[in-house]
Structure 1
Amino acid sequence: MSADRTCIIFYLLATVLYLIHNGNSQEADHCFPPEFLESLSMSMKITKAGFHRDLLYTVEWGEVDHDVKALLVQKLPSGVYMDEYQLETLRHDTGLEVRLDSKVDLEAPEYLSTGFTALVFLSGKHEATVPVHGRYHRPADSGVERVTVELESPRLLVRSDKCETPRAVSPHHEATEAPCDVSNHSVCSWLEIRRLQDTGSVSLEIPVGDSSMMLSVCVGTLLTAALSCVFLLRSIWRHGTF
């Protein structure tokens, strides 16, 4: 085979490989076209009252020719917690997919707790209702009946199995990595929709005790316990049994 023919064959192979690679790149680029990205919207609101609330998330997007998976990355302060056992039950009963980034002490008060992050997966869904619970706070000064806990808006990430590596198409969209799904420890590439970061926080008010009543409550509790003990001892002395 002559050198010229070898060069021609090599050039043709290189051209074919380039066209294949370029075609795949264009397909990846168009996985989330600009009109789809502009159609994305997100809202969060809180329902119910008292210590036990629900966070209602809604994510909307326009039509696209492949499945879209959305992920909400929600940071939560020490004033609230999520019950991983309740979330596991809801996963089996309703399909809710929430993963916590760390173990959460369900009994600890606010001043002995730390914040954590919840990952809310929306696999083909547009809504999720996630239960959240208020922690007990330190008693406040007289006249203060409630404390306010602020919940910042979550980060919104999207991906599709059609796109192996979503690309940042503008300063408002950035490629990042996060767990692929609620039960998988592997990491996938996601596209973060940065323009929706400031969609608005929500807050909840949690009842707190009155510190000025601490002495009277302690005295009342001790008196009640003492009287109960006296009554029980008297019953035992008289009857030899309860």
Structure 2
Amino acid sequence: MYFVLFSVLACLLTCHCFIEKDVKQNESHCGLLKQWLASSLVSLEINKKGFHREVVTSVELSPDVLSGVRVLLVHRWPRGVFVDPYQLASLSEHGDWQLLLDSAIDLEVPVHKTAGFVTYVYPYLDGPTPRLKVTIPIHGRYHEPNYDGEMFTSVDIEHPELLLRTEKCSQLSGLEPHTVVDAPCTHDNSSTCQWVKLQPQQERGPVGVQFPVGDGSLVTPVCGGTLLVIMLCCVALSKHMWKHRII
């Protein structure tokens, strides 16, 4: 009888020690994750000109080692631009990141017949990496002609959201002022996981990109001139064929 009671007490004590150890480890990893969030920065720049640009996102992470942390960049793109899924698939095969699209991309439709979309970028972390850089090619969509004489239109590109997660920190509710959001776990499935979203220390405005647009006031003269040239060419061609008896 005493042996059984002693065995039960020993088992309970061992389980309590393991639980307490797991709780302390969880709190430790959550604290390190919060430090990572506090020291992380995200910046964005846009390279190249014309309809084909490159959006370069740089992420500054804490140099402290925190194993098992995953990084996710969420880009919310306006309808004025698009990405080429085939181009991105080729780049991701030779790069250090993977990408997931939230919807299908039609490469041909103009801006007024489409909507914005979201990309989820999963960079690879190979050991302690204080700096990440992801370059995504984007392309401008064709806009409707402008009748106000403006030669360019502006499309605003928002800074991406930085999300972090680790399996070793399960108490995500105590990481204020950062918020917990749901996002896809990986680039190749549709299941969602809880991520901690970095709360920027200051509001950052979007980066404006200028794309050329057609001049609507020139529609009539251009169409009229094109029709006139076609008619003159038809007359000249018909005269040549009649003269040389080609018909």
- Fold-level similarity (TM above 0.5): yes
1:1-242 alignment, distance < 5 Å:
1-2=1-2, 6-32=4-30, 33=32, 34-62=34-62, 63-124=64-125, 126-160=132-166, 162-163=167-168, 165=170, 167-195=172-200, 198-230=203-235, 238=244, 240=246
Distance 1:106 1:239 in 2: 47
TM norm structure 1: 0.85
Structure 1 unaligned residues grouped into runs of 5+:
none
- Runs of 4 or more, structure 1, over 6 Å off, are none
TM norm structure 2: 0.84
Distance 2:138 2:185 in 1: 23
Distance 2:50 2:240 in 1: 41
Query: SS in structure 1 opposite 2:136?
Result: strand
| AA of the residue aligned to 1:103 | A
| AA of the residue aligned to 2:182 | E
**How large is the Cα RMSD of the aligned pairs?**
2.6
Deviation at 1:199, TM superposition (A): 3.8
Q: Determine what percentage of the aligned residue pairs are the same residue.
A: 32
Distance 2:70 2:239 in 1: 68
Q: Structure 1 186/142 Cα, relative in aligned 2: closer, same or farther at 3 Å?
A: closer
Deviation at 1:189, TM superposition (A): 3.3
Distance 1:193 1:180 in 2: 17
| AA of the residue aligned to 1:210 | D
